[in-house]
Amino acid sequence: MSRICLAAGASAALYKACDLASMLAQEGHEVRTVLTPRAAELVSAQLFEALTGEPAHTDEFGAARTRGMDHIDLAAWSEAFLVAPASADLVARLALGLAGDLVGTVALALAPDVPRLVCPAMNPNMLASPPTGRHLATLRADGWHVLEPGQGHLACGVSGPGRMGEPPEIVAALRELLG
């Protein structure tokens, strides 16, 4: 099985990341979670630790610290990098290579051959905005795989595209990437 770094952004779809982490761990994968600071305000890192049996990180200098450079250690450990959910903000930061949090620094420190899968989750207008389209195109050009969001009712009260894929769909896409 594989070592998967699950990066979770702040989104109403964050609850699906909990199911996703559990499913991956039950399949025998080692899953270490990195939450953006805003995601850590919505869901406790301890929940991910309970679901996976592995450390969960919220910042570079947090309680789950392993050594002096968590971003380097996590990147070297990872055999796959999965971002779910990926808000419009997180998609933009990854596309621009911004390193203002642990998710960004781990993404930049990954070896070039580590498979990367991003699962956008956002309001349909945000998804359709030209900047978001450019950022997703940049990620694809940089070798990221994008699991297109589905249609459905969203937490913001509207229906349309922007719904993060369901955990079984994400697991299948990741399994395909890992061969």
Catalytic site residue from 5, 18, 119, 156: 156
Asked if 144 contacts 119 with a C-beta cutoff of 8 angstroms, the reply is no
Would residue 156 show up in a list of annotated catalytic residues for this protein? yes
The CATH class of 3-178 is alpha beta
Is the confidence at residue 138, as pLDDT, over 70?
A: yes
- Structure confidence at residue 161 (pLDDT): 93
Is the confidence at residue 64, as pLDDT, over 60?
A: no
Mean pLDDT value of segment 118-124: 97
Tens of pLDDT, residue by residue over 42-62, are 999 999 999 999 999 998 766
Domain boundaries, the chain: 3-178
- Structure confidence at residue 158 (pLDDT): 87
- Structure confidence at residue 78 (pLDDT): 98
Distance CA 25, CA 161 (A): 29
Q: Long-range pairs for 135-142 at CB < 8 Å and ≥24 separation? A: 135/91, 135/92, 135/94, 135/95, 135/96, 136/91, 136/95, 138/95, 138/96, 139/91, 139/94, 139/95, 142/95
Asked if 96 contacts 134 with a C-beta cutoff of 8 angstroms, the reply is no
- Structure confidence at residue 81 (pLDDT): 98
Mean pLDDT value of segment 125-141: 98
Mean pLDDT value of segment 132-136: 98
Burial string for 7-22 (b: 16+ CB within 10 Å, else e) reads bbbbbbbbebbbebbb
Mean pLDDT value of segment 72-82: 96
Mean pLDDT value of segment 137-160: 93
Distance CA 85, CA 72 (A): 22
